[in-house]
Amino acid sequence: MKRLLRILSAFVAVMVIVTGCNNDNVTYSGPDYVMFADTLQTIAVQDGETYCDIPVSATTVCDYDRTYSVEVIDKGSNAIEGLHYDLESNNVTIKAGELTSSVKIRGHFDSFEDADSIGVMLRLTASDDKIWDLYGRDTKVVLVKVCPFDINKFVGHAVLTSTFFAEYMPTTQLRLLKTELDPEVENGIILKDFLYDGYDIKVKFNTEKPLEPKLEMESDQVVCTTADAFQGNAFENSDNQVRAMQPQSVVSFYNVCQNFFLQYMTFYVNNVGVVGTYANVVEWISEEEYNYLKKQGY
């Protein structure tokens, strides 16, 4: 993607350095272009009220306002204006003395399914001499439904399925869990009796970036003994504890709308080695469903 704003910022920074060195005023003297700041932008739709900015940039400052219309292009769009989104205006104005402005878009939260990701293709209708061929006049805006984070959605009753079962717990299809708030960690929870009774796991929900809902965990958490996992086997020079850490090669994530998380864990035994990396899916269910599954023998 073409991060034009970053390029322009870097250009300005370089000019400031040059100016500071030789005390001469250095200004951009190229053509007057206007463009979207990025050719692809992703926006989190978290409610039906908030407008988000789609930046528009110019290469030169003018002493008058510049207004451009914005069109929705059917080709490349699968969202319906009025149903999935609204534009605050079909015009955008870069004010006199300024280089940037923005088109404002609002997603209709209630019109999205939980897993929806809908695209809108927008086009600036500036004259051809104002469009830089390198960047063009279009941008693709992807609207992604992101439910507001609520830690209480991840407290209560849950079901665990894991690729660990197939290798070391072949008679287990799923495991019923109870989860509670971690009193020591913000946005953290404790999964009681995770793989084996008596061994809890702690995880934390990273809520800094709504479009990157990452799940985190501290290393060195004990998930079971080697006797549990390896049919009673023990290892010399080891404490015979199977521990978990979060691998760096894959991303663990959560979904608030669908109330689950996918957590990758690498299991290892100190002074012995790595057991393997396993995918664990935890889905939250109602107390009634939990009790029903418990009666079925899970």
**Residue 295 pLDDT exceeds 90:** yes
Q: Return d(Cα 222, Cα 236) in angstroms, integer.
A: 18
Q: What is the mean pLDDT of residues 111-136?
A: 91
Q: Return the bridge partners of 100, or none.
A: 57
Q: Tokens representing 281?
A: 């899916």
Instruction: Work out the pLDDT band at 28, boundaries 50, 70, 90.
Output: low
Q: Return d(Cα 265, Cα 253) in angstroms, integer.
A: 12
Instruction: Output the average pLDDT for the chain.
Output: 89
Of the candidates 230, 114, 210, the residue with the CA atom closest to the CA atom of residue 167: 230
**Residue 85 pLDDT exceeds 60:** yes
Q: Return d(Cα 205, Cα 110) in angstroms, integer.
A: 24
Give the residue with greater pLDDT, 235 vs 263: 263
Give the residue with greater pLDDT, 166 vs 24: 166
Instruction: Work out the pLDDT band at 117, boundaries 50, 70, 90.
Output: confident
The beta-carbon contacts of 236-241 under 8 Å, at least 24 apart in sequence, are 237/271, 238/269, 238/270, 238/271, 238/272, 239/270, 240/269, 241/269, 241/270
> What local confidence, expressed as pLDDT, does residue 238 receive?
84
Please report where in the chains the tokens 């015979």 appear, as a residue.
Answer: 240
> What local confidence, expressed as pLDDT, does residue 236 receive?
78
- State pLDDT tens for residues 32-67: 999 999 999 999 999 989 999 999 999 999 999 999
**Residue 14 pLDDT exceeds 50:** no
Which run of H or E residues covers position 16? helix 4-22
> What local confidence, expressed as pLDDT, does residue 29 receive?
63
Give the residue with greater pLDDT, 2 vs 28: 28
A 10 A CB-CB count for 206 gives 15
The alpha-carbon radius of gyration of the chain (Å, integer) is 27
Task: Indicate the pTM of the whole model.
Answer: 0.79
DSSP alpha helices (H): ranges in 176-223? none
